[in-house]
């Protein structure tokens, strides 16, 4: 059996260090915010080549508080990819604004910058690109459109820990960058966790305020905030895992390179990497019109695959009220029917990678 992702193996490799970090927090007697969270925030900001990081409870809250910090709310529009995890849209609708979807470049699956300007209206306040599958979106044209139309740029970097765009780490190209440390992400906690990074001190301070009841000083509330604090236990775990992030990204790159070579003649559309992109391979997504049959064959051979994502946000019951027909966003809908995510992760061995590749060339019935 080849699992899609082995989270237990990730823990076991680091077990002595993680256990010691958890014990350190338990022993400290300090369980909300405090030195462990501050230390992780400083280390994460430095890693992301950003001036500030603020830890929050999860990736959806990072997006939501980023939008609130920019005073985006009812009556405002935010441009989002049609092809993304639903959290990107939920953050926008959650603050009372309207998500305005723009279709992807089918080569990269990321938002197509050439389609953005047609979606800008007098109500547009921000652009919200996603670095999907760990591949940076094409940020320069996005930042240029934002400058010309006086819009803010919020990045959903929940899948892009350590990725680089034109040599610079994802972390502060736009006004504010949102991170998830959900266990399955490239930098994953042992529970929910998230953060924002930014070069804007005022925005960082606003998110820090909002995540903690709108309070800087205990029992003094400057605005109606929420409770969305990064747990110090998770911060301590993340500090251990940040130490190995680049090494583990290297292992993901080796798997991706093996797939790229081994699957070149398998009749699939393989991921396209533009020359300005250094992806971190959160997912390795292939495309085929025969996706369902392929997935069934791999499953019979004991290979775990997933679909990211089977139903685009505009086709979800959650967005039925928007009244968008499935065909309104044909590219998002088409990708949902053709994409297949192959096993990838820092603990997928060479032998397993080769077995996955073999499944695309013959009946892999274990013979």
Which residues lie near ligand PLP (CB under 6 A)? 58-60, 84-85, 87-88, 130, 156, 158-159, 180, 182, 192, 194
**How far apart are CB 63 and ligand PLP at their closest, in Å?**
6
The b/e string for 240-258 (b: 16+ C-beta within 10 A; e otherwise) is bbbebbeebbebbeebbeb
**How far apart are CB 59 and ligand PLP at their closest, in Å?**
2
Give the Cα separation of 153 and 292 in Å (integer).
36
Q: Which is nearer to ligand PLP, 182 or 360 (CB)?
A: 182
Helix (H) or strand (E) run with residue 184 in it: none
Q: Which is nearer to ligand PLP, 58 or 249 (CB)?
A: 58
Rg (CA), the chain: 21
**How far apart are CB 362 and ligand PLP at their closest, in Å?**
34
**How far apart are CB 148 and ligand PLP at their closest, in Å?**
26
Query: Between the CA of residue 266 and those of 3, 144, 259, 349, 358, what are the distances in Å?
Result: 21, 39, 10, 21, 10
Is residue 113 within 8 A of residue 145, CB to CB? The reply is yes
**How far apart are CB 176 and ligand PLP at their closest, in Å?**
14
Q: Which is nearer to ligand PLP, 129 or 225 (CB)?
A: 129
Q: Which is nearer to ligand PLP, 158 or 348 (CB)?
A: 158
Is residue 162 within 8 A of residue 245, CB to CB? The reply is yes
Of 90, 58, 52, 99, nearest to 211 by C-alpha is: 58
Please identify the residue of the shown chain whose CB is closest to the bound ligand PLP. 59
Q: Which is nearer to ligand PLP, 331 or 364 (CB)?
A: 331
Of 33, 53, 35, 34, nearest to 43 by C-alpha is: 53
User: In this structure, how many other beta carbons lie within 10 angstroms of the beta carbon of residue 267?
Assistant: 12
**How far apart are CB 80 and ligand PLP at their closest, in Å?**
10
- For 282, the 3-state DSSP assignment is coil
Q: Which is nearer to ligand PLP, 101 or 294 (CB)?
A: 101
Give the Cα separation of 4 and 35 in Å (integer).
35
Q: Which is nearer to ligand PLP, 159 or 305 (CB)?
A: 159
Give the Cα separation of 325 and 328 in Å (integer).
5
Q: Which is nearer to ligand PLP, 158 or 242 (CB)?
A: 158
Query: Between the CA of residue 195 and those of 120, 254, 294, 321, what are the distances in Å?
Result: 28, 28, 37, 30
**How far apart are CB 282 and ligand PLP at their closest, in Å?**
8
Helix axes 232-262, 350-359, angle to 10 degrees: 50
**How far apart are CB 9 and ligand PLP at their closest, in Å?**
21
């Amino acid at each position: 059996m080849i699992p899609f992702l082995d989270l237990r193996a990730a823990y076991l490799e680091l077990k002595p260090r993680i256990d010691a970090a958890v014990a350190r927090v338990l022993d400290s007697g300090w369980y909300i915010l405090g030195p462990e969270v501050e230390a992780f925030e400083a280390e994460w900001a430095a890693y992301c080549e950003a001036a500030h990081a603020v830890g929050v409870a999860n990736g959806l809250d990072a997006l939501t508080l980023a939008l609130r910090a920019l005073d985006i709310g009812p009556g405002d529009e935010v441009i989002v990819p049609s092809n993304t995890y639903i959290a990107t849209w939920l953050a926008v609708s959650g603050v009372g604004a309207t998500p305005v979807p723009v279709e992807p470049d089918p080569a990269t699956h990321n938002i197509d910058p050439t389609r953005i300007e047609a979606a800008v209206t007098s109500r547009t306040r921000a652009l919200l690109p996603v670095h999907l599958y760990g591949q940076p979106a094409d940020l320069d044209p996005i930042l240029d459109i934002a400058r010309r139309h006086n819009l803010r740029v919020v990045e959903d970097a929940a899948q892009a820990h350590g990725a680089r765009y034109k040599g610079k780490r994802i972390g502060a190209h736009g006004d504010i960058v949102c991170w998830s440390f959900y266990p399955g992400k490239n930098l994953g906690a042992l529970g929910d966790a998230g953060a924002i990074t930014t070069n804007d001190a005022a925005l960082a301070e606003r998110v820090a305020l909002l995540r903690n009841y709108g309070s800087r000083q205990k029992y003094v509330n400057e605005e109606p905030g929420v409770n969305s604090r990064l747990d110090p236990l998770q911060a301590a775990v993340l500090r251990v895992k940040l130490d190995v992030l680049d090494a583990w990204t290297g292992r993901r790159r080796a798997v991706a390179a093996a797939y790229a070579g081994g699957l070149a003649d398998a009749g699939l559309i393989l991921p396209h990497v533009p020359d300005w992109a250094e992806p971190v391979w959160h997912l390795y997504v292939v495309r085929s019109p025969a996706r369902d049959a392929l997935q069934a064959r791999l499953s019979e051979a004991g290979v775990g695959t997933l679909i990211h994502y089977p139903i685009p946000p505009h086709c979800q019951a959650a967005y039925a009220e928007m009244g968008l027909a499935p065909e309104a966003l044909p590219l998002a809908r088409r990708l949902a029917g053709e994409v297949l995510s192959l096993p990838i992760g820092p603990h997928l061995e060479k032998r397993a990678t080769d077995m996955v590749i073999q499944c695309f060339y013959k009946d892999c019935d274990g013979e």
